[in-house]
Amino acid sequence: MNTLILYDTVYGHNFELGEYIHQNLLPDSSLLSFKESLTVKLDNIDLLILCPCTSGEGQLTVNEEKFYNYLSEFSLKSLTYYIAGIGDQNFGRENFANAVNIFDQRLQYQHARQLGPSLKIDYEDIDNGQQIITKKISKYLKTRK
Ligand SMILES: Cc1cc2nc3c(=O)[nH]c(=O)nc-3n(C[C@H](O)[C@H](O)[C@H](O)COP(=O)(O)O)c2cc1C
């Protein structure tokens, strides 16, 4: 299985989340920043995990936006994806970790398959988020065997 984990980060939380998934759940995956992702041929990826950072008022970062546009170059019908992004609830319900929603809508629009419901994690509740992710991905890996 060809697995790619992408993150963007300002303060490090989403990088650490990507690293957690990489080290503990998907050790054979590649872990890259969104900035490094624009040369990856997504046709060759089976499982895409996104740990996006939310910036501005519920917006993508510049590098996430580039990747968002890059997605349209590919047919993603055989891609499975999972999105888990850390944000800050103090930015309000509409804006909280909204990068997760933006990518979810885009990937659904391109008919990619969801591994499980996308997850928004508050930066003060990361341990709980990691537990949910661990359960989801472990279950998925068992069903693939
Ligand atoms: C300028 C700025 C704008 C932000 N806007 C949002 C936002 O709209 N929604 C949100 O959930 N978090 C927002 N955040 C908070 C970050 O998403 C949050 O701190 C998160 O932990 C950052 O992830 P990181 O540690 O990977 O950089 C913003 C942070 C900054 C500095």
pLDDT tens for each residue of 29-69: 999 999 999 999 999 999 999 999 999 999 999 999 999 99
Q: How far is the CA of 100 from the centre of ligand 1 (A)?
A: 12
Q: How far is the CA of 59 from the centre of ligand 1 (A)?
A: 9
Assign residue 87 a region (left: φ > 0; alpha: ψ between -120 and 50; beta: otherwise). Answer: beta
Taking alpha carbons only, the member of 102, 6, 106, 15 closest to residue 47 is 6
Number of domains in the chain: 1
Q: Give residue 71's domain range.
A: 3-144
The domain that holds 59 is classified in CATH as 3.40.50.360
Q: ipTM score of the complex?
A: 0.98
